[in-house]
Amino acid sequence: MRMTKLLSMLLALVMLLAVLPATAENPSTWLTDELTTITVMRGENALQPLKADTIKLQTIKELLNIELVVEAPPSANYNDTKTARINSNDMPDIMLVSTSDVRSFARKGMFVNLSEYRDELPHLFALLDADPSLSMLTVDGDFYSAPSLQRLNKFVRRSGNLFNFRTDLLAKYDLEAPKTFDDLYDAMLVIKQNEPEMVGLTCRSGTRKFMDRVSYPLGSGSSIYYDADKGGVWLYGPAHEEFKGVLEYLNKLYEADLLDHDYATNTKDQWAQKLSNGTAMGTIDNDGVVRNYVAPLQQIDPSYNIEVLPVPENALGEKRIELASADWTDQQWVIATSSKKIELCLKFLDWCYSEEGAIVNGYGKEGVTFYFDENGDAIVMPELLEEYSANPANAAYDIQIALGVGLNDVSPYVDTGVQMQMEIYLKGDAEAQAAYLDMVSKIGPMEGNREPVLAPPLSEAQTERYTELLLKVENLVWQEVDKYIKGEEPIENWDNVIATIKADAEEMEEIYNEAWNAALGK
């Protein structure tokens, strides 16, 4: 009897011990005891397709016990897909949206109010609180989204839609770097006369993106924009005389065949081809992307070079071009209120803004894809740099595709180290790498570079009225722009466009400036 009782007790103890280890052995980094799936949606960059079995996703699973499933509609269609999913309340747990999405849908209860969970998001709010300008992203004083922020590393460089030009052609024809936009016209004209098959200033993604990039350097803006040179106010560019000057200059280039005649329809691929085959003289675009085409062309023609030149002075006597933000504040991560895993999503999102999260999302797995050097900096394994350098024009993307890391993946707190280290590696020997690092270090402080300014938060009433006015005005403006660039309409007729939109544009400016002053406490 006693033996039976003892055996029963031992059996019960064995059964208890069989259960306990599973709980006791759970890694301390796990965010959930049971393997749980979180769905995330973001647009897929054509240059960096997203894979479902990367070492980063495997590392997240090991560390957090979370299975991350990423839905990635093509970036070209992402806006439509995203809007349809939000409107139908059929959202993934977490998704990437824009500032305008947050302002349009937060008040409708579609996104979790992150400010209500401040204590559960210590890493995120430590970063938000450290930069008061990020308060411009709030809705009625609360954060409904987490902006894509940059984790600084020793290789970080400033970038932006800068003035990239074929300096080898300037040297070939004994031309100085253009100091003004008129000088640019003259220089391109000389090159065109000697090499008529060449395309002058080229662009990607059509008229609107092109105008977004060139309007500001030429003295105006393509939509509502902040102008420090005109008293520090928000202006709707196309409603002002300066925009007419932009159109006039572009028409001058177009008539002389110095503006790519495909500017209105160019795709990214067509733009890339003109840079990669050496037929384009220059472009105002992301200098980091443009430099991808230098190495492969230098293998064919060692003299080929395209570099960032000093900002040309416009007709108003201004030197100005907008740097890219140190962060990516228009790429914002939201948690759907319809998610059944809000608490876990909050934990995961906050982990992404931790040092560990940034490193995993930026580099992959320690000891496998990177290591820490004696200074604590993450360094990509040399064999990986060698493996993915075969196609120099796309090497920085290829290695990020393989690892599943970087800005174009799921990386709310972005460390660009993999991209930067590949760019440096492609330069070759130590001397060439040092020259490259010296060159990029000079881009940020270049005269005329301006820091981007975040748009002010609008009230619900302001948002509704501004959106109504913007749609009305933009529909009119963008039906007309190409006509003036191509010379189908005389430039003086733009005065009629200004007259038509003037009242609505002034009201839009009033809304923005009122919200701006309120946000600044004026």
Burial 506-518 (b: 16+ CB within 10 A, else e): ebbbebbbbbbee
Q: Do 145 and 195 have their domain in common?
A: no
Last residue of a domain, one of 324, 353, 383: 324
390 in a structural domain = yes
Structure confidence at residue 24 (pLDDT) = 52
Query: Looking at residue 384, which CATH number applies to its domain?
Result: 3.40.190.10
pLDDT more than 90, % of the chain: 82
Q: Taking the alpha carbons of 181, 185, 191, 197 in that order, is the dihedral positive or negative?
A: positive
Does residue 237 come out as left (phi exceeding 0), alpha (psi in the -120 to 50 range) or beta? Answer: alpha
Q: Do 319 and 343 have their domain in common?
A: no
pTM score, two decimals? 0.83
346 in a structural domain = yes
Q: Do 202 and 140 have their domain in common?
A: no
470 in a structural domain = yes
Residue 3 has pLDDT above 70, yes or no: no
Name which of 17-21, 69-73, 132-136 the model is least confident about: 17-21
430 in a structural domain = no
Q: Which domain holds residue 300?
A: 161-324
Q: Do 40 and 172 have their domain in common?
A: no
pLDDT band, very low/low/confident/very high, at 16 (cuts 50, 70, 90):
very low
Q: Do 45 and 118 have their domain in common?
A: yes
241 in a structural domain = yes
Q: How many domains are contained in the chain?
A: 3
Three-state DSSP class for 49? coil
Q: Do 183 and 272 have their domain in common?
A: yes
pLDDT more than 70, % of the chain: 95
Nearest to 38 by CA among 69, 4, 64: 69
Q: Do 205 and 255 have their domain in common?
A: yes
Higher pLDDT, 359 or 296: 359
255 in a structural domain = yes
pLDDT digits over 371-412, tens only? 999 999 999 999 999 999 998 888 999 999 999 999 999 999
Structure confidence at residue 212 (pLDDT) = 95
Q: What is the mean predicted confidence (pLDDT) over 243-270? A: 96
Q: H or E segment at 213?
A: helix 206-214
**CB-neighbour burial class of residue 484 (10 A; exposed 0-12, middle 13-18, buried 19+):** buried
Last residue of a domain, one of 411, 432, 447: 411
Q: Do 301 and 205 have their domain in common?
A: yes
Q: Do 403 and 386 have their domain in common?
A: yes
Structure confidence at residue 444 (pLDDT) = 86
22 in a structural domain = no
Name which of 249-253, 331-335, 348-352, 432-436 the model is least confident about: 432-436
328, 136 in Cβ contact below 8 A? no
Last residue of a domain, one of 304, 324, 344: 324
Q: Do 339 and 367 have their domain in common?
A: yes
Q: What is the mean predicted confidence (pLDDT) over 338-363? A: 98
Q: What is the mean predicted confidence (pLDDT) over 166-183? A: 97
Nearest to 54 by CA among 315, 303, 330, 405: 405
Q: Do 294 and 171 have their domain in common?
A: yes
448 in a structural domain = no
Q: Do 176 and 131 have their domain in common?
A: no
Residue 14 has pLDDT above 90, yes or no: no
Q: What is the mean predicted confidence (pLDDT) over 95-124? A: 96
